[in-house]
Amino acid sequence: MVRGIIMEKENYKLGKIIQVPLREVWKNEAYDFTQWLAEPANIEILNDTIGLTLVDIKTEKNVGAYKCDIVCHDEMSNKIVIIENQLESSNHDHLGKIVTYASGLDASVIIWIVKEAREEHSSAIEWLNNHTDESVAFFLLEAQLWKIGSSDPALKFNVVEEPNDFNRIIKKNILDKTLSENQTSKLEFWTAFNDVMRDRKEFNIRKPSTDHWYDFSIGKADCHLVADLLNKKGKVRINMWISDNKERFEIFSEHKEEIENAVGEKLNWERLDGKKACKIFTYIDGLNFNKPEDYHSLSNKIIDKLIVFRKAFKPFL
């Protein structure tokens, strides 16, 4: 007779997730929460949520008789970003303020952070996104604090409303009859690329666009990584792009052998004398806008190569 084996169940001790009131941590909206969020380590939570790289953070910026909580720039696009904080439920007063601040500061990205988003204000932000072009983006976020048992609380942003970039760009350009087949292909590629980026979680996600290029920050204002779509060549070019610093290029050149060994191949080094920029690059084969079924695999190859570039160049930044 075959006897069955009885397995003892393991008892795992699980903690309970508890929501913490925002005012329990930040008593004052302006002096506590805004100043805390403006710290570089804390603004990264917001960066990770909306896919930007916010720099040059300034608080309490005067706009007429009022003060905008935070004004900053997106490092890659250099667009002006404003952040309005409200540790209470959303209200009409703050809705009016974000529009006033956006106008007064010529902002391209408007972020409204609240404790709770009321339905009428969610609808208002959705309406603004649907009735403005892709040069302006409105975000409505709910801030929540959570802890497990007696752990320290952690901040989490829930995105209530955000721009639907792909649909908005497509809609605008179809109406204007200006979106070419090539532009559509690039937009579709970068949209598929972002899907892979979300899974890989290696770099901040940018808005998909009709541009042939996609920027990736590596922590320095004068250089960044770039992926270029070269459809006629059937290639993607992976660049270390140096904006306006020949000295930076020379430093990299001094470590050329170490960098190429780390990348695992010979690279193209272009100082571009007479121009401000310099670039160091290689190619990935396999780009074909007629084969969207290959986008997922190619996107992974691009991200793999970007990771290798980041690791190779970072010691010499």
Fold of 17-163: Trna Endonuclease; Chain: A, domain 1 (3.40.1350)
Q: Which CATH architecture has domain 168-316?
A: 2-Layer Sandwich (3.30)
Q: Where in the chain is the domain with CATH 3.40.1350.10?
A: 17-163
pLDDT tens-digit map of 93-129: 999 999 999 999 999 999 999 999 999 999 999 999 9
Q: Compute the average pLDDT of residues 251-274.
A: 95
Rounded to 10 degrees, what is the CA torsion of 309, 310, 313, 317? 150
Q: Compute the average pLDDT of residues 52-75.
A: 88
List, in sequence order, every residue forming a beta bridge with 93; answer none if it has no partner. Answer: none
Look at 9-13, 123-127, 282-286, 295-299 and tell me which has the smallest mean pLDDT. Answer: 9-13
List, in sequence order, every residue forming a beta bridge with 111; answer none if it has no partner. Answer: 83, 139
* H-state helical runs in the chain: 22-25, 35-37, 40-50, 92-105, 119-130, 165-176, 181-200, 246-254, 256-263, 295-313
For CA atoms 37, 148, 117, 53, the dihedral sign is positive
Q: What is the pTM of this model?
A: 0.53
pLDDT tens-digit map of 147-174: 998 888 999 999 999 987 644 444 554 4
Averaged confidence pLDDT in the chain: 88
CA angle 197/200/204 to nearest 5° reads 50
For CA atoms 118, 121, 127, 128, the dihedral sign is negative
User: CB within 8 A of 226, min separation 6: which ones?
Assistant: 213, 214, 215, 216, 237, 238, 239, 241
Confidence of residue 8 (pLDDT cuts 50, 70, 90): low
User: CB within 8 A of 86, min separation 6: which ones?
Assistant: 29, 94, 112, 113, 114, 115
Q: Where in the chain is the domain with CATH 3.30.1460?
A: 168-316
> Phi, psi at residue 10, to the nearest 5°?
-85, 140
Between strands 154-161 and 80-89, the pairing is unpaired
Between strands 278-285 and 235-242, the pairing is antiparallel
Residue 216's H or E segment, with its range, is: strand 213-220
Confidence of residue 316 (pLDDT cuts 50, 70, 90): very high
| Token pair recorded at residue 131 | 């009735």
